[in-house]
Amino acid sequence: MTEYYRVELERADGDERHTDVWRPGPHNYPHEHIHLLMTYEDVMRRLDHLPLDFLLILNNFVYLHGHRFMDELASAISFGSSLDLDRITHAPHHKGLTIDVDDLNAFLQSFDAENRFVMINDDRIFWEYFLEQARVDAFYHKTSRRIGASFFTDEASCTYFMNKYLSGKGHIHRVEILEQEGMFVGDFRIVDSLNHKMLYRDFMGYLRRYWSGEKTEEPMMEVIFQGEYRLVAV
């Protein structure tokens, strides 16, 4: 029988939970990031040849430097109908790539006093939003990460997750299934391999691989569980 394990930041020995009422992050991204993520998605669906990180870098620059950066950007834009990405970011993987000024303005001008620029420095917020979009687009019948709890199938995977994503913090618990309402099993290695230098089109392809159940050569199986479960400290 398959065993399941879960990482918790605090010890939760004996806790019984139901995913209808217990939905810990990062699957549920902060509300203040919704406008940024939705606008980003709308622009990038049209510009899927661009690396993931360009608009995110742009957003963070505006958040950190405000009008000073916007003035510099306006000066760069004034030279023509398109803009070299590396003129703004100075990133080697942006060299030779351009964005149409109209598309750039569509992103920047969507922000206002109500929908402000927000710093995004947690990759998991970004990945989780697009994992859910990929599920809704083509795998809507599979258990959503937004309403499910994530488990691993061995302790080693939990340790890896803690070391990479939680600075080594956390406690491993064995999971006892009390009532199962839904379950999806995917290879977390696919998610773990994502990086901001990827092109948007390639990125979405990786997410579809995850939801299709494809496995890598050394899979790290992740379970998205919906229902009731009990945690037992290891």
Residue of 116, 102, 89 lying closest to 43 (CA atoms): 102
Q: What is the pLDDT of residue 73?
A: 79
What is the value of pTM for the model shown? Answer: 0.89
Q: Which residues of the chain have pLDDT under 70?
A: 23-29, 78-80
**Residue in 183, 185, 190 with CA at minimum distance from that of residue 218:** 190
pLDDT tens readout for residues 33-56: 899 999 999 999 999 999 999 999
Residue 219 has a pLDDT of: 97
